[in-house]
Amino acid sequence: MGLRRCSGSPVGAATAAGGNMRLQSFPVPPLLLLLTGFCSGTSFPSNINIGGLFPTGSHEYEVFRFALAQHQDVPKLVPQVDMVDTGSSFAMTYAFCSQFSKGVYAIMGLYDRRTVNMLMSFCGSLHVCFVTPSFPVQTNNQFVLQLRPQLQEPLMALLEHFYWTRFVYMYSSDSGLTVLQRILDTAAERSWQVTSVNLDTMTEATFIKLLADLDYKKDFQVIINCELERLNYILNLIAAQKRNLKNYHFILANLGFLDLNITEFQKLAPNATGFQLVNRTNPAVEKINQEWMGFDSKDLKLTRKRLKYTGALTYDGVNVMVKAFQNLRRQRIDISRRGNAGECLANPPAPWGQGIDIQRALQQVRLEGLTGHVQFNERGHRTNYTLTVMELSLKGPRKIGYWNEKRGYVNTAVYRPLTEELFGLLNKTYVVTTILEAPYMMLKKNHELFVGNEKYEGYCAELAAEIAKHVGFTYRLELVGDGKYGARDPESKMWNGMVGELVYGKADMAVAPLTITLVREQVIDFTKPFMSLGISIMIKKPTKSKPGVFSFLDPLAYEIWMCIVFAYIGVSVVLFLVSRFSPYEWQAEDSDEEDETVLSSASRRAPPTSSSEDPHSPGYSQTQTQNQNQQKEKEAPEHSNDFGIFNSLWFSLGAFMQQGCDISPRSLSGRIVGGVWWFFTLIIISSYTANLAAFLTVERMVSPIESAEDLAKQTEIAYGTLDGGSTKEFFRRSKIAVFEKMWSYMRSADPSVFVKNTNEGVIRVRKSKGKYAYLLESSMNEYIEQRKPCDTMKVGGNLDSKGYGVATPKGSALRIPVNLAVLKLNEQAVLDKLKNKWWYDKGECGHKDSGRKDKTSALSLSNVAGVFYILIGGLGLAMLVALVEFCYKSRIESRRMKELIDAAMMSTSLGGMAGGVGGVAAGSLSGGGSGRGGENGRVVAHDFPKAGAQGLPCMSKAAGRGLSSTGM
């Protein structure tokens, strides 16, 4: 390569200045003289030959001349232009080799798909830089600098923004093949349906036939990727067919949206989106454009048109060359071409040694041009650029966003309800599709007497009237043909129902209970929700449960009652044990009564006979011993304890019943037991009392299903949804385990659990006797619950959250004003008034809360019958226990009296034998007794009447007769 960079020595500076400076007289070394001569011989050229390859009369060539005329600074770019056919490989090869032999430093020009590979091969082999505003191609050839930005990423960003999954891609082979490859790769990954059409092989007739096929197949999403001239031709051809384009959405994959001639195309009100590279609102751009329109104005017969985006790219390309060579001159890099420039067709090729320096200089340029920020990557492609996204509105093109590499697509559209945008709304009758669904849309009872919109009534009928009044347009209500809301057929990919009528242009707006979903939002536009709701469960209203006899036990669960019983028994046992162990619970009994009993017994005792008074007699010694024992017992008092096991149970029961007891613990331990039991009973009784009123006054219905989980766990009750609606789609797409299980059941159920319409589902619920549950929107569920025969009910909460919205086709002029009207109606509470009117004010089952308040006013006998049963049962039990106690006590007393009588008779018999036969009767009747009858002396004269056996209540007749005979 050799040394090309000159040093900044004084000698070199003096030489470059032309020798005006006088050198000092001192000897100069030979090496310094050689270096000085070398640098002076390799000075940067003042004129730079630039090649040009342009078609004859092209716009880019005129801009190339204009740009070179704008730059007269050193180094000056001198053009070497050849007007060639860019589609001819021979002509392009000849022109390229001719310019290379003339020693051009770089070439600017155009190419097409037939010559691009040839140019790249020459540039890469000979190291000649080619700067082009033509369509970009995928290549790693660093010597080809492509000024036009690539469209793959911006176009893919728009497709994702608009949620396109099925569209037609029309392209020309020049600029569309690279984008087509990227679209096909993405379509394979995301299951898109893409139809590609090569415009190069189509004639005008075949293209018109293609438009008819698009209408027939409902392919309304179209991408057109070709150069400006052909794109203008295609748009004018579409406009000439006078087709209805309101359902179409075109994406024009071209960087000159404002350069298009779309006057006729705009009259059809299509939805068109495109890209704009040149920012015409920039003052610097406008200044250059004014200079361009005045360039060579004397030689022109017609006024120049504005700079196209390809011309702006050409202008920026010249600026890139100027700045690159200025940088090379500033860095004093040798790029001179001395001697023969070389032969381009040499084999092997002989690359130009200085070409790599020019390539680096061009690649490193950074500037702000007409096309925005100009910068190249290592492969020669534009980078860090920004594209403006445009939309064709009723007033013309307007900016809706922008795209750059850092942020992707950014939507900046600000829609204002301008009256100018609504000029077409007043002079057109819009078709509003709807569906018969009470209470949203219903036919009046005498609808045969009315015509048009007057035949209908309901929530949506009044909503459509309110929207039309606020926006200011006329409309006509039409029922959807197939009676469906709208779903996409998985096989044909076609939409049915109201969504299909909007997608395929049969209607302008849908006012109905149409759920806002993702798949629908991809093909139509929705307003803000006019009603919020969710999927709910409808079942047949079960019969009201009759209150049980023991319904007063319902406030507490069965487990709590069992725990209370065990607690009661446990506390009683603990209290009994504590009272037994604690000495403070024992007390001495009062012995006054015993003393009185002993004294009365002694007073009634007969004086001893002569035989018994003898201290040596056996009777006397026995009587003495008994008296001593009684004296000891009197001296040692007995201790008693009130808390036996029965008294402990009685104390616990009295405390639990909040009634108290006549005994209470004396010891600290017993009082602790009593205190915690009282606290326990306080809380339990308070909780019971708090819940008792609710359980006795509120009538409850036993529902077999309370939630979606209950439905999924059983198979006895069938359940289903509307066929072809958002509810079915929700279960089909859900990833929640419960809903997946429900969808698996519904899909495989036989007979089918899906219904054609909501009315069929309600009828099936009412006739199934509780064996079918219908899944539908909560708003409709609440409405049907208010309709006679009032035998359905909503159970559980909503399974999801969603909303109903007014739908319009994509890009419809009604979208923004209708959305604002819905928001205004919501803020003015008109929507709430409409719902109350059609749901509750016209309800046939009373207000949802009114019936409940009436039913809580009084209790019936059935609510408290169990209390009376317990009272009667308790009284009967008490009488039975009293009878048992009487019989038991009577039997005990009978035995005791019998034993006493037997003892008395025994004593009488023994006394008669000891005193003689003559004195027996007298001794008995006079009250005397033997020595062994001291304790039983009470049985004689003082205890028994003189009537003998007749005075003894428990004495048998035989005993009476025996006593009488003895007395006799």
What's the CA gap between 635 and 612, in Å, rounded?
27
631 vs 587, 592, 636, CA distance in Å?
21, 14, 9
Residue linked to tokens 């009784």: 685
**pLDDT score of 952 more than 80:** no
pLDDT digits (tens, 9 = 90+) for 42-77: 567 788 889 999 998 899 999 999 999 888 777 888
Structure tokens at 436: 């018969």
Bridge partners (DSSP) of residue 403 are 387, 409
**pLDDT score of 477 more than 90:** yes
Residue 612, pLDDT score: 41
Half-sphere exposure of 611 toward its Cβ, with a 13 Å CA cutoff? 11
Of residues 858 and 270, more confidently modeled: 270
Of residues 357 and 915, more confidently modeled: 357
Count of H helices and E strands in the chain? 32, 30
Structure tokens at 501: 């009528």
- Whether 110 and 53 have beta carbons less than 8 Å apart is answered as yes
Half-sphere exposure of 115 toward its Cβ, with a 13 Å CA cutoff? 23
Half-sphere exposure of 358 toward its Cβ, with a 13 Å CA cutoff? 29
Lowest mean pLDDT of 577-586, 861-870, 918-927, name the range: 918-927
Of 477, 379, 475, 473, the residue nearest 150 (C-alpha): 379
Residue 592 DSSP code: H
Query: Helix (H, G, I), strand (E, B), or coil: what is residue 96?
Result: helix
Structure tokens at 433: 């599709």
Of residues 671 and 466, more confidently modeled: 466
Q: How confident is the model at residue 343 (pLDDT cuts 50, 70, 90)?
A: confident
- Whether 620 and 608 have beta carbons less than 8 Å apart is answered as yes
Residue 207: what residue type?
F
Q: How confident is the model at residue 171 (pLDDT cuts 50, 70, 90)?
A: very high
Structure tokens at 847: 């207000």
Residue 252, pLDDT score: 93
Of residues 460 and 810, more confidently modeled: 460
What's the CA gap between 764 and 773, in Å, rounded?
9
Q: How confident is the model at residue 853 (pLDDT cuts 50, 70, 90)?
A: very low
What's the CA gap between 481 and 713, in Å, rounded?
39
**CB neighbour list of residue 542: distance below 8 Å, 6 or more residues apart:** 701, 702, 703, 704, 770
What's the CA gap between 761 and 718, in Å, rounded?
12
Question: Rounded to 5 degrees, what are φ and ψ at 550?
Answer: -105, 40
Share of the chain above pLDDT 90, in %: 29
Bridge partners (DSSP) of residue 48 are 77
- Bridge pairing between strands 249-252 and 221-225: parallel
pLDDT digits (tens, 9 = 90+) for 184-241: 999 999 999 999 999 988 888 899 888 888 887 888 899 999 998 999 999 999 888 8
Lowest mean pLDDT of 13-17, 749-753, 831-835, 880-884, name the range: 13-17
**pLDDT score of 278 more than 90:** yes
**pLDDT score of 773 more than 50:** yes
Lowest mean pLDDT of 49-53, 593-597, 696-700, 727-731, name the range: 593-597
**pLDDT score of 261 more than 70:** yes
CA geometry: angle 508, 509, 514, nearest 5 deg: 145
What's the CA gap between 889 and 902, in Å, rounded?
20
Q: How confident is the model at residue 354 (pLDDT cuts 50, 70, 90)?
A: confident
Of 235, 231, 272, 270, the residue nearest 251 (C-alpha): 272
Structure tokens at 144: 């080809």
